[in-house]
Structures are given as structure tokens and as C-alpha cells.
Amino acid sequence: MSNLVSGQTGDWEVVIGMEVHAQVTSQAKLFSGSSTTFGAGPNENVSLVDAAMPGMLPVINEACVRQAVKTGLGLKADINLYSVFDRKNYFYADLPQGYQISQFKHPIVGEGVLTIELADGSAHDIGIERIHLEQDAGKSLHDQHPSKSYIDLNRSGVALMEIVSRPDLRSAEQAGAYIKKLRSILRYLGTCDGNMEEGSLRADVNVSVRRPGDELGTRTETKNLNSVRFIMQAIDYEVERQIEVIEAGGTIDQETRLFDTSTGATRQMRSKEDAHDYRYFPDPDLLPLQLTAAFVDEIKAELPELPDDIKTRMVSEYGLSSYDASVLTEERETASFYEEASKGRDRKLVANWMTSELFGALNKAGKTLANSPVSPDALGALVDLISDGTISGRIAKDVFAEMFETGSPAADIIEEKGLKQVSDSRAIEGLIEQVMAENQDKVDEYRSGKDKLFGFFVGQTMKLSGGQANPAMVNQLLKEKLK
């Protein structure tokens, strides 16, 4: 599939790199003991360190270091046993230190790779350039007062991982697939909750265009995109804008842009003359971070099975389709629900029931797997009852609807409503005889060669049994009786 975009004067290739800020899942902040909980009252989760009071010193949170290493390992990246914290200097009202503690020259994680899969089934390896640890800033509220900004430092000092990709992405679709896959891996690892609405995962997107085969064009950076849709919209807008500018004889300025969520457009940031000059230097308050190979190995041993591996296993061992395996592994919770429900059972049948009936019912009810009225065991038990012939697949749908409604186990519903499949040949023969007696004319027609009527008899017998007769036995017995 070609990713080229055609302009007025020919084709253009789009080049995209992403910097993703992922909030590290931890109890306390990166360099202080205050809480990272979302939704606290203004400035409640703030210590004197976070507010940058004079004389306060940062002490690093070991769990945040582990999380960064774990993330690196999950992205098959090099872990740097030696890394350094630097000060990135700039002034903003929600940055009380006047600098952000970040990692510049020596990040904790080096090069890795993330494989994305597109709708057309093609897979692409996207290079990860680095991951570094840094502090988040506070939050400014601009809509509380006509001439003032309100500052809440609750986020100030929360640990972030900045995950920087290589400029390997070639379309908005690829960028969307990248952020979704990254989010999924982070959630499997448990290193970031991936909650984009709460700002736990946000992306800066670098976009440029060039003639196929040319050198890289000048890029713009659109900041702080907090949904997959916005990321894709911002890219589409930038691509179109840049091509228009260049084709009209203009040039692209390397600049930072903002995305307007209401119009879907990007615009230049006002403070352009303040072209950022961060004057990075090693933070004298912090010694270099030195890890041992044993520390890294210990984390490696704790790594959960990641979605790509699980998917491969589901396809090769369980015989699932690649599509079903993708759906079932997108979220860790879904994969473990499935594993639990299908263990020791017909794997494919459970997959079908999950992806069609269960997901359909959850969607309709506006629920998620986490609050599903049907537990993995309950779904598995239902599938067992289909597999052993207690109920037919058709009756099972009614039983499932009832389970979803009431939370009762399948066996109870079947017992209570008398839905058990009838596999007793004498009972089925009785039904068949009744159908034949009521339709003597059709029996005669069938016997005189109208084979097509067979389906009619099957239908009538099933109907008479309330759908409970074993369809295979009905077929077999009908054939004998109608001879």
C-alpha cells in the first residue's frame, strides 16, 4: 500500500516521529514523597520539594526507575546502566523550579522497536530512539479569571517517561496504530495506565513532507495531543498545510504548533521569538543513576507475556484467526478473561462467544469486561454445556442473554426453564410422528420424490420441541421415518 499523498505538483511522502509522554504508574512522585493520585483538591498532592522551596533536595523513587527499565525491556530496548539527570531550563508559571529535571545526553533506555499492524494486515517495525525519565509540570487553569491564571502543582514532579520514536511513521493511520500499540504494551507492563483523558498519555507529533527519496523536509512539532483521534487529525492537517505552503512556493518554518480540538486545525505558538534554548546541564543535586545487570535481570524475570507473544500463541496453539487473536490481546484484561474462560475447553468456541455475544452485550449495555455480569468461569461453563450437547447453540444464545441479565449460572437457567436439549430418541420419534400425522399430505409428496420438503420436517420438529431437540438426531431419525 502506498502512503504517498498527491499534491498539485506531484506526490509527497509524509514523515512522522512521535514523542510520547507516559505517566509512570507509581504511588509517589519521581523525586518527592507526595501522592500521584488523580483528582485531589488543588495543591493537596504537593510537598515543599514539588513547590521548589529553597533548600529542598530531590531523592529519586526506585519504583519509577524500575518502571522505566521495565518499559524499555517491553520495547526490546537497550537499558543503559549509567544515566544522568539534567536540568532543562525554562520559565513558566506551572514550573516552580525554573527547570525540569530530565535526561538529555544519557537517557535510561536506548534503542528499541515496536511493531504495528495496520488494517490491511501489513506489519511495520517502528524504531524507538530512547526513553528518558523526567518530571511533569503543574497545571495552569486559564478560564477561572479574566486576567489571571490559576496554578495547581499536583502534577508537578510526577514521573513521566518520554518515549521518543524514530521518524519511521508514514501516515496518520500508522501514527494511530503506534500510539494504540504503545498504550497496550504499557498497560500490559503496568508501567502506565494509558488513560488519555486524564492526561496519563500525551503525544507531541513531529511532521514533515518530502518528495519520495529526497532528504528529510523541515518539520513542525504539534504539542500535547491527548487522544488517538486528535493525533491523526493534527497530522492530516499539518500534511495538507505543509504541502500547500511548499507548492505555493513557500517554505516550512521549524516551529512548535498547537492543535485546536474544536476546529481540528494547528496554529503557530505565539511566543516564537522565545525559540527554546534550554541550556541543559547535569543536575548538581543528583548523582548519576547507576544500575547493575542483576537489577535489570530481576525486572526482566518479572516481565509479563506481551500482546505480540500471546497473539502468536493464540494463533498457533489455539487455532484462532489472526483477527480474533488481535481483538482478544488488545487489552491485558481481555486476554486474561479469555485465557481463564477457555482453559481446558474448546478455545475457538470460547473465542467466538467472547467476540460476538459477550462483547456485543457489553457494548449494548455500556459495560466493560471489568464489570461484566458474566464471569470467565460462567461463560466457560456455558460453552461446556454446548460442547457436551446439553443445549444447542441456538438455545445457548437465549441462555446467555438470561445470564447477562440476571447473573445466574447457565446450568440453573437451563434447569429452571427446562431448556435441556432433548437427545432421547424415543421422545424425538414421538415429535416426528406427531409432525407426520399433522402433515400427511406433505409426507406423501416427500415420498413421491419431493426431497426438498425434508427441511420443512426438520423445521416443524424443532419448532414442536421448542428448539430443544438435538438437531443431529432429528435429522437422522427423520430420514429413517420418512423412508
Partner 1 sequence: MSVDKDTVKKIARLARLDVPEERQEQIAGELRAILSWIEELGEVDTANVEPLASVTGHSLPLRADKVTDGNKVDDILANAPEQASGFFVVPKVVE
Selected from 14, 21, 22, 32, the binder of partner 1 by CB under 8 A is 32
How many other CB atoms sit within 10 Å of the CB of residue 28?
18
**Interface pick for partner 1 out of 151, 172, 399, 474 (rule CB under 8 A):** 151
Q: Are 162 and 132 in contact (CB under 8 A)?
A: yes
Residue 80's alpha-carbon distances to 65, 73, 125, 189, 304, in angstroms, are: 12, 11, 22, 19, 21
Q: Which three cell numbers stand for residue 86?
A: 539534567
Nearest in space to 135 (alpha carbons), one of 297, 299, 285, 292: 285
Closest distance of CB 423 from partner 1, Å? 59
Number of Cβ atoms within 10 Å of the Cβ of 451: 8
Are the C-beta atoms of 324 and 340 separated by less than 8 Å?
no
Report the distance separating Cα 236 and Cα 205, nearest Å: 11
If one asks whether residue 263 binds partner 1 (CB under 8 A), the answer comes out as no
Among 23, 26, 208, 334, binds partner 1 (CB under 8 A): 26
Give SS3 for 126. strand
Residue from 62, 125, 253, 377 touching partner 1 (CB under 8 A): that is 62
User: Binders of partner 1 among 90-149, rule CB under 8 A?
Assistant: 91-93, 140-142, 144-149
Candidates 25-33, 163-171, 398-406, 473-481 — which segment interacts with partner 1 by CB under 8 A?
25-33
Round to whole Å and give the CA distance between 122 and 116: 8
Torsion of CA 434, 438, 444, 447, to 10 degrees: -30
User: With CB under 8 A as the contact rule, which of the stretches 113-121, 189-197, 265-273, 381-389 interacts with partner 1?
Assistant: 265-273
Among 9, 122, 263, 290, binds partner 1 (CB under 8 A): 290
Note whether 65 binds partner 1 by CB under 8 A: yes
Among 136, 152, 204, 324, binds partner 1 (CB under 8 A): 152
For residue 56, give the 3-state DSSP assignment.
coil
Give the 3-state secondary structure of residue 460.
helix
Among 11, 44, 302, 416, binds partner 1 (CB under 8 A): 44
Binder to partner 1 among 61, 206, 222, 470 (CB under 8 A)? 61
Which residue in the set 123, 150, 316, 415 belongs to the binding site for partner 1 (CB under 8 A)? 150
Stretch that binds partner 1, among 47-55, 70-78, 235-243, 390-398 (CB under 8 A): 47-55
Q: Is 298 in the site for partner 1 (CB under 8 A)?
A: no
Show the binding pattern over residues 364-403: x = contacts partner 1 (CB under 8 A), - = does not.
Answer: ----------------------------------------
Closest CB 164 distance from partner 1, rounded Å: 23
- Give the range of 84-92, 118-126, 348-356, 434-442 binding partner 1 by CB under 8 A: 84-92
The full length of the chain comes to: 483
CA–centroid distance for 162 within its chain: 18
411: CB partners within 8 A, 6+ apart? 381, 385
Residue (158 or 243) nearer to partner 1, CB: 158
265 contributes a contact to partner 1 by CB under 8 A = no
**C-alpha distances in Å from residue 292, one per residue of 83, 106, 289:** 12, 16, 10
Among 14, 22, 28, 386, binds partner 1 (CB under 8 A): 28
Neighbours of 114 (CB within 10 A): 22
The contact set with partner 1 (CB under 8 A) reads 26-28, 32-35, 41-49, 51, 59-65, 84, 89, 91-93, 140-142, 144-153, 258, 269-271, 277, 279, 282, 286-290
